[in-house]
Structure formats: C-alpha cells, structure tokens
C-alpha cells in the first residue's frame, strides 16, 4: 500500500473496492411492514403492499391477490389452477374479476381522497 499510496488512481480503486455499490444499498436496508408488524427488505415490503385480501372464485378460500392484476390466476386459489385449463372460463371467475376491479377502483379513489384531504390540511397550515 505504501508503495502505491502516492497514486490517486490506485487509492480511488482501493476505496471503491471497499464501498458497496449505491444501487444495491436500498436492498440492504430493512423496512418496517406495518401490516404484518415485521422487519422486511424492500422487495418484500413492495410485494406485501401490492396484495389485497380476496376470496377464491371457485372454492371461497381466502387468497392474496395482486393489486391491478386481472389474470385469471389472481382470482383462484393455487390448488384450483387446473380448472383454468378448461376451454371455457367459469362465470364465477369472471364475476370475481369484475368485483376485484371495483374493489381496486374503490381503493384508488379512497387513497386519492385521503391525499387531497392531507394536501388541503397542509395548505391551510401554510396560509395561517
């Protein structure tokens, strides 16, 4: 080290080897998931908040469906995915799809309204 210590390029390379890449630093962070009251990584947190409690269209079992995903698998419990191979789509799945779309729309509208309420409240505080 002493021999190459006078070279700025060498020192910079040595320091970069010790420093983790910035793009991966968010993956190393731990986040608190308020839904499950657990500490998780960023990817798990995003997946948890992208899921909605739903009911299987065929069996009535509780499932977790992906938000704004309207694939047929999203409305059926994994044990019943073989029913999706049929040439005709079951009407219960279509009905569940329509209800899920309504639920997503309702959630988005509620979130927008909540955001607007907070924005109005903050605007009033700044004016006072």
pLDDT tens readout for residues 72-116 = 999 999 999 999 988 898 999 999 999 999 999 999 999 999 999
Across the chain, which distance is largest between two alpha carbons, in Å?
76
Burial 6-37 (b: 16+ CB within 10 A, else e): eeeeeeeeeeeeeeeeeeeeeeeeebeeeeee
Question: Highest-confidence range of 31-35, 37-41, 60-64, by mean pLDDT?
Answer: 60-64
Residue 53: beta bridge partners? 64
pLDDT digits (tens, 9 = 90+) for 38-53: 788 888 888 888 899 9
């Amino acid at each position: 080290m002493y021999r190459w210590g006078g070279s700025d390029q060498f020192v910079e390379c040595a320091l970069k080897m010790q420093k983790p890449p910035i793009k991966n630093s968010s993956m190393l962070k731990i986040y608190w998931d308020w839904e499950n009251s657990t500490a998780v990584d960023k990817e798990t947190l995003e997946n948890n908040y992208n899921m909605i409690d739903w009911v299987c269209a065929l069996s009535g079992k509780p499932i977790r469906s992906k938000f704004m995903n309207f694939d047929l698998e999203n409305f059926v419990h994994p044990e019943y995915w073989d029913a999706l191979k049929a040439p005709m789509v079951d009407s219960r799945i279509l009905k569940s799809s329509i209800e899920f779309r309504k639920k997503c729309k309702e959630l988005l509208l509620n979130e927008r309204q909540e955001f607007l309420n907070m924005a109005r409240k903050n605007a009033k505080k700044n004016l006072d």
